[in-house]
Amino acid sequence: MADTPSDESPEVDAISGPDVDRIEFYGGRWTSVLPIALFVLWAIVQSGLFRIGDTTGLVAGMLVSLIVGMFFVKGDWTDYANTIFDGMTKRVAATAVVAWLWAGMFANTLQAGGFVGGLVWAADAAAVGPALFPAVTFVLAALLATGIGTGYGTTVAFTALFFPAGILLGANPVLLFGSILSGAVFGDNLAPVSDTTIVSAVTQDADIGGVVASRFKYAIVAAVFAFAAYVVAGGAMPGLDISQQAQDLFIENSEPAGLVHLLSMLVVIVTAVMGRHIVEAVSWGLVVAVAFNLVFGLAPLSAVLLFRVPDTSVAAGAVAGLPVVEIVDPGNAGVTGSLYSGAAGFFPLIVLVLLIIAGSEIMIRGGGFAAIQDWLLENVATGVRSAETTMVVGTAFVNSMITINTAAEIAIAPYIARIGQKYNINGYRRANILDANTSALGYIFPWAGGVLVGFATMQGLPDQYEWFTEAMIVNPIQVWPFVFHGWLLFFVFLLSALTGFGLEYTTDRRSDEVSRV
């Protein structure tokens, strides 16, 4: 996922074992796929066909899909209803929500402090033109994601900060969004503190250090090709036609001072690498960012948080002098600032994701997952090469269906262990196949959490910059071919499975116990 680092043991127990209530459907266990399948169809029609990128519209789609699914349940519908509750209260869902809220506040505060202006200044000074900008963005996003361990957080930060800078410099928006998502995939896959890395290691009985070291060879091959692809595509794909006047004005007014927020980012990376929880790491970054904004005069406190108190309020007179208060007409009352808008931007997405996790849980308890896996085991995984290919394709498929990739990974992990152990495939190798495809496919399709969170962030940009119009927002359905690192990682593993590159058996070397990490 998206993934948030955690020093706790991941919820491997979230896998629905045989002891949980099963749901029976008319038409058999395949029918349990219906809510998710209907939603995917809705998402394709709404965002692909109609070109409406409204997240709340997708929420309506998921609600309708969950209701339709209920009519196919045999017997008492209570179990179905309760499964919706169980899915929505899963810890992985909460983990993603927390990562988005914190990353949103942090990125917006950096934005208020002129970080984008600083980036534009730096890119201009270093002569990084529009052609190179996506490739450079990919490398920097990959570094941040590897440092902080959250691909979703990286997507939020880079879409809020690098995306507008790149657009202004003339980079192609779709390609640029793809490069941000690619960086997030790289970090999700490789970061030792990423949730997906931890889940992959724990579920396949391997230690995290060994898992990270052994997956480096695949990640770096994919990354080198992805970088080259961004350089080539950056030269070939034109940017948007932004009014030259607005562009010149912004570049002229871009000051290096905002670059001080590189230190705010460094605080997050260092605290995360030191093993602190992501909530703690980002909170420290946020404190430092607010302090920098105030000390260096980059933004006033009111840009971070502002209560617009109506003049009719009894307290109006008493609080009028406070830096976080503005007295306004009753019609303009409200709360604003980077903390407010940074968090609020994710509210529809949070609801959507909780509902999608509920739909996935229905698919798990209804046996849809088991049906897919059984079919694969009986018909496809009949030798070691085909077993590995099944592991790659199966993981990719499940991750393309379930929005939060950590949730998808937890659901498929037992099957990967079972198929792999049948041929004594080493735990490191199993963990690598599981995590690479989990990371990659979580950032490609229009309904993937990574894509949606970037899209949600982008929708806040027209309010931030006068020159940024609605037309500059990338529709989620446009970006899938351009997440180069995601696709390359998938193909690297497909080739590895077919050729035996990187294959190790349990007899070749023993993976250390997880507890020793």
Partner 1 sequence: MSILDQFLAGATFRTTTPSFEAGEEIEVYVTDYDEADGDLYALVGETRLSFVDGSRDLVGCRVLARVESFDDDAHRGTVAHLETLDRGSF
Residues that bind partner 1 (CB under 8 A): 15, 203-205, 209-210, 213-214, 216-217, 383-385, 413-414, 417-418, 421-424, 426, 428-429, 499-510
Closest to partner 1 by CB, 51 or 217: 217
Closest to partner 1 by CB, 76 or 508: 508
DSSP-derived secondary structure letter, 325: E
Radius of gyration of the chain (CA): 23
Token pair belonging to 313: 């309020």
Token pair belonging to 487: 């696709």
Please, what is the minimum distance in Å from the beta carbon of residue 492 to partner 1?
A: 13
Please, what is the minimum distance in Å from the beta carbon of residue 342 to partner 1?
A: 38
Judge contact between 121 and 255, C-beta under 8 A.
yes
Q: Is the dihedral of CA 118, 122, 124, 129 positive or negative?
A: negative
Judge contact between 432 and 190, C-beta under 8 A.
no
**CA–CA distance, 395 with 390 (Å, rounded to integer):** 8
**CA–CA distance, 256 with 135 (Å, rounded to integer):** 22
Please, what is the minimum distance in Å from the beta carbon of residue 503 to partner 1?
A: 4
Closest to partner 1 by CB, 29 or 429: 429
Please, what is the minimum distance in Å from the beta carbon of residue 185 to partner 1?
A: 20
Token pair belonging to 350: 């949070």
Please, what is the minimum distance in Å from the beta carbon of residue 501 to partner 1?
A: 5
**CA–CA distance, 205 with 218 (Å, rounded to integer):** 20
For residue 143, the number of C-alpha atoms closer than 13 Å in the C-beta half-sphere is: 9
Please spell the DSSP secondary structure of 52-68, one letter per residue.
Answer: ---HHHHHHHHHHHHHH
Closest to partner 1 by CB, 86 or 388: 388
Closest to partner 1 by CB, 47 or 438: 438
**CA–CA distance, 233 with 283 (Å, rounded to integer):** 37
Closest to partner 1 by CB, 9 or 82: 9
Please, what is the minimum distance in Å from the beta carbon of residue 70 to partner 1?
A: 30
**CA–CA distance, 343 with 102 (Å, rounded to integer):** 7
Closest to partner 1 by CB, 79 or 205: 205
Please, what is the minimum distance in Å from the beta carbon of residue 502 to partner 1?
A: 5
